[in-house]
Structure 1
Amino acid sequence: MRVPLPALLGGSALLLLLLRWRRRRALWRKVAEAQERQELSLVRMEAAARRFREQHPSLKMASILSLPLPELSKKLRDGSLPLDHVFYAYVGKALQIATETNCITEFLQESETQLRKAKLMEKQGLLYGVPVSIKDSIDCQGHDSTLGFIKNLNKPAAEDSVVVQVLKRQGAIPFVKTNVPQSLISYDCKNLIFGQTRNPLMFTRTPGGSSGGEGALVGGGGSILGIGTDVGGSLRFPAAFCGICAIKPTGKRLSKRGVMAGVVGQKAVAAAVGPLAKDVESLALCLRALLCEDMFSLDTTVPPLPFNEEVYSSTKPLRIGYYETDFFTMPSPAMRRAVRETKELLEEAGHTLVPFELTNVDYVIFNYCVRGMFADGGSSFVRKFKGEMEKGGIGLFFWLTKAPHWLKTLLSWISKPFVPRFSSIVRSLKENTVDEVWSLHHEIEDFCHQFVSQWQKLNLDVMLCPMLGPALGIGYPAKLSVAVSYTMLYNALDFPAGVVPVTLVTDEDEEQLKDYKGYYQDWWDRTLAKAFRGSVGMPVAVQCVALPWQEELCLRFMKEVETLSLKKNSFF
């Protein structure tokens, strides 16, 4: 008997719907299992912390948590502070911050075993006994590196990343992994598996991203040292938004082996691994520990450059370039004030400040950063979302990547007079030929040389720059991808860049926001003004930059800014 075509088509459609429903149910099951594991991790942390408190009822945890990392590590090495006292103090505090902000994805239960082994270690590294938090995307043996993707669940790493191996050899104890935004290409911190991470200083604000879980945990005091990554500000946003310090080193100064990337293979925008901590001296101690023979032998692509103590400890007055704006993203009143006040403090301390003029930042952002990261038209990035139930609020981006070249060209041309930045983004998302990619890389090299020449012509040591802030409201970063200009510039240049909190938003800053228009006065500028509002009392940072491979000089400058700001302000 012959089956009618309509019935056949209807049956096929029903079968497809059934298969899709079954597939989605399987994905939801994986998410539910991951959330159960996350909850179980927190239960284990709570049990471990409670057990220790019951055994040591008179121990004052607050006195341990108040110690800066250099002092803490010294006490651990000389035996004046027991390892388990420090470990369980941070387990308890991390649990509290995780409950408030949803920043931890997993407790690394083997850390308790490592703690017991550390007590028997003969060789005590620079980070002996220090509990360290690790970003989700950095491999820890036996644990997932999800990047917020369901497809990456239940795929535990076969071995530790090089940076985790070196941390362990230096005596550090990785004890938790922390949350990230889906795909990492965001400076918010939300994914379908683990949900939204909140800022510990104001729960309605984002902690930044993509190292957002790290920013929230370190900023809340639940970790004394965190390790994250940065491909457009992913260390600097969380640090600035959560009132702590971070440094993005030159891309190859620390190993990226075993570190998962949001966009694999692109070379235009340099990614880097780096630390987050409460203060600059802690960052310096971390780099002292990591820049060792173990790092250089485990990953021979890392140049064997140990930490240069002489540069870091120098007291020679600096010649510092500075600018208040990049003329692409208008700084908030608090951002502009942060740079001005820091400049004045540095001048009073005997340093020389020299104006530095930035030009064509819009060209850099659209043609080097956006076009460079998505030189294949964004197709490889989009493929990462295949089979996922959520696309992180970038539906328009998906549509644009799949649109034919002629349509992108037409859309870019039509929109240019009305929304020039949107027009530039559309134009930058075209698929490039190999010849065009090589030409782009050559152009980026030339730009870098020109930037260095301008730097050297002014005889600069370092640069003082604005840092986006204060922390935006949750959900705003997804709408404001163009606001990464202050940070992403230094990924394109591959310069070391760090952030230091220097002030808090005042009522006057808030009042001046009413006049915020932006340079383009488009939808993005209006949205950014809204995102800044309601931030009185939130921290604002400045960015400190040095030339490639000069992390120690960058840290020395950061330390100077931190010291002068602390002298002036009593709120940090």
Structure 2
Amino acid sequence: MICEKVKQLLSAFRDNPCSIPILVCSSTAALKALAWAVRKLMKRKFVRAKHHAEALEQMEKAVQQFKKENPDVQTSHILSLPLTELVEKLREGSLSPETILYSYIEKALEVNQEVNCVTAFIPSCLHHIQEMRNQKKGLLYGVPISIKDHVACKGYGCICGSGPKLSLLEQEESVLVRVLRSQGAIPFVKTNTAQCVINYDCSNAIYGQTLNPLNHKKSPGGCSGGEGALFAGGGSILGIGLDIGGSIRLLSSFCGLCGLKPTSDRLSYWGVSGPVHRLQTGESDSGSSKELADLHAAMMVYRWEFITRWKNLDLDVILCPVLGPAFTLGYLETNLDSLSSTMLYNILNFPAGVVSVALVTEADEEQLQLYSGYLDEPWDKKLRKAVEGAVGLPVAVQCVALPWQEELCLRFMKEVERLTCEKKWTTDASGANAAQRHGLNQTPPGAASVAQQSQKSSSTLPDVSSMTSKAEEGPTLQRTALQITIAEDL
């Protein structure tokens, strides 16, 4: 029999196969069992690494073969197209699904080599094109998409940076992937995540650390950081992640992208690995304890009180901060209290999106050195160290609406983005813009791809004039603009 201590160590080791526990035990059988577990998990990791390398090689060969047969393809032009224009060209036939797919595969290979954001390429995407070639149906016909590692794709693993899942392959696809496929989208790559999908960095013992393509000393955000890094590098145009406490919004803030957390259950969680539904609904694997039930009831009361105050103030939407700019690698042990600006809306179950509005300047960096924090909290002091050295990186805001009002939230995000674009390059009386006044390049490293992704995102947001009669009964944009006032007690 293996003693309880050995069982605990084995359990811990399964979650982190790279850290081998040192065990002093009088039982030889226990040591043998531990050694066997170590060998088994390391073998799984080796096999997974081998499959990953083989998939990369397969994709590289496929891209080279396609370029050889199609030497006139203008990859840079294809990658610059916003989503709506890309779909239009696919429908009219001026661009083929193969041309677009291979362009994004090539770019994703390049980005992955730079920042380590891909966990698996999906070779079946090449066969999927053949199946849909003559159909030309669906809102996303021929559009290549990336999906976070934890979203089930048939025949591929949902590793989530965890040892026990190394040898497991999904037998069915998630509802999200099924719906996207039914609309003509082509999943072509899976992206890296934080260990067990709980962290606001993107690193795990299986695939390692993902870097921010805008600054390799910075994190891309977590836990969906692989998506953020791939997008910011220009290797994807549409993707799926996870937002338990701010993940989608953090990577959007850190990488200069547009991201949206919808109301819980607006999208299906079936086939999504990790602590998703339980955390958002208050469910528990160990029963529904009284303590958990009381906490869940208190959360419902808090939601009701918050929504009541919101309506009494006659608010339509709120513009508020989001964590950022991007954290320096190594400072991510900062207390989870720093996520309060995003996690609040997970608790409230409000739709919330993020839009980049500016770049960090040298003046901002100088001002940061005077920051001493609030209430003398330890995490707040660490926060200054975490965000310094961010000149040229994006600064974002968060746009929030009431539950089930995603369309209004998206419309608000689009308006914020429009106003930002109008103001970004305007000059002051001296004829020099703010970036030039502080001695910065107008286009810092990676900014071109960020702006490009921002334009792509904005082009897909709905116009308020096209909303249903139900939406037209709601507040107009002009009224909203006048009432974006945040009461201090809210």
Class of the TM-score when normalised by the shorter of the 2 chains: 0.7 to 0.9
Q: Contact 1:188/1:475 (CA < 8 Å) preserved in 2?
A: no
Equivalent in 107, 122, 131 of residue 121 of structure 2: 107
The 1:29/1:46 distance shift into structure 2, 3 A limit, reads same
Aligned pair 1:217/2:72, yes or no? no
Aligned pair 1:434/2:289, yes or no? yes
The one-letter code matched in structure 1 to 2:102 is Y
Aligned pair 1:84/2:98, yes or no? yes
SS of match in other structure, 1:154: coil
Equivalent in 129, 137, 144 of residue 131 of structure 1: 144
The one-letter code matched in structure 1 to 2:151 is I
Q: Contact 1:186/1:478 (CA < 8 Å) preserved in 2?
A: no
SS of match in other structure, 2:146: strand
Q: Contact 2:145/2:239 (CA < 8 Å) preserved in 1?
A: yes
Equivalent in 23, 38, 50 of residue 64 of structure 2: 50
The within-5 A match list for 1:537-556 is 537-556=392-411
Aligned pair 1:187/2:200, yes or no? yes
Deviations 1:306-338 (A, max 9, x none): xxxxxxxxxxxxxxxxxxxxxxxxxxxxxxxxx
Q: CA deviation at 1:78?
A: 1.5
Q: Which residue of 2 aligns with 1:145?
A: 158
Q: Which residue of 2 aligns with 1:399?
A: none
Q: CA deviation at 1:265?
A: 2.8
SS of match in other structure, 1:229: coil
Q: Which residue of 1 aligns with 2:338?
A: 483
The 2-side partners of 1:45 and 1:567 are apart by 40
Q: Contact 2:353/2:413 (CA < 8 Å) preserved in 1?
A: yes
The one-letter code matched in structure 2 to 1:216 is A
Q: Which residue of 2 aligns with 1:501?
A: 356
The 1-side partners of 2:302 and 2:387 are apart by 32
The within-5 A match list for 1:229-308 is 229-262=242-275, 265-266=278-279, 269=280
Q: Which residue of 2 aligns with 1:513?
A: 368
Q: Contact 2:256/2:356 (CA < 8 Å) preserved in 1?
A: yes
Q: CA deviation at 1:435?
A: 2.9
Q: Which residue of 2 aligns with 1:118?
A: 132
Q: CA deviation at 1:155?
A: 1.2
Q: Which residue of 1 aligns with 2:186?
A: 173
Q: CA deviation at 1:476?
A: 2.2
Q: CA deviation at 1:112?
A: 0.3
Equivalent in 290, 296, 319 of residue 464 of structure 1: 319
Q: CA deviation at 1:35?
A: 1.6
The 1:451/1:222 distance shift into structure 2, 3 A limit, reads same
Unpaired runs of 5+ residues, structure 1, are 1-9, 271-371, 381-431
Q: Contact 1:206/1:474 (CA < 8 Å) preserved in 2?
A: yes
Q: CA deviation at 1:547?
A: 0.2
TM-score, normalised to structure 1's length? 0.68
Q: Which residue of 1 aligns with 2:31?
A: 17
Equivalent in 19, 22, 42 of residue 28 of structure 1: 42
Q: Which residue of 2 aligns with 1:198?
A: 211
Q: CA deviation at 1:45?
A: 1.7
Aligned pair 1:531/2:397, yes or no? no
The 2-side partners of 1:75 and 1:264 are apart by 38
The one-letter code matched in structure 1 to 2:316 is D
Q: CA deviation at 1:481?
A: 2.2
Q: Which residue of 1 aligns with 2:329?
A: 474
- After superposition, the CA RMSD in angstroms is 1.9
The one-letter code matched in structure 2 to 1:62 is S
Deviations 1:497-552 (A, max 9, x none): 00001101111110111121222323312211101110000001100000000000
Q: Contact 1:206/1:475 (CA < 8 Å) preserved in 2?
A: no
Q: Contact 2:202/2:219 (CA < 8 Å) preserved in 1?
A: yes
The 2-side partners of 1:493 and 1:74 are apart by 38
The one-letter code matched in structure 2 to 1:140 is C
The within-5 A match list for 1:366-385 is none
The 1:19/1:435 distance shift into structure 2, 3 A limit, reads closer
The 2-side partners of 1:526 and 1:229 are apart by 28
Deviations 1:12-61 (A, max 9, x none): 53332233123112211211221222222221221111111111112210
The one-letter code matched in structure 1 to 2:123 is Q
The one-letter code matched in structure 1 to 2:73 is L
TM-score, normalised to structure 2's length? 0.79
Q: CA deviation at 1:436?
A: 2.9
The one-letter code matched in structure 1 to 2:309 is Q
Q: Which residue of 1 aligns with 2:3?
A: none
Aligned pair 1:163/2:199, yes or no? no
The one-letter code matched in structure 2 to 1:478 is E
Q: Which residue of 2 aligns with 1:96?
A: 110
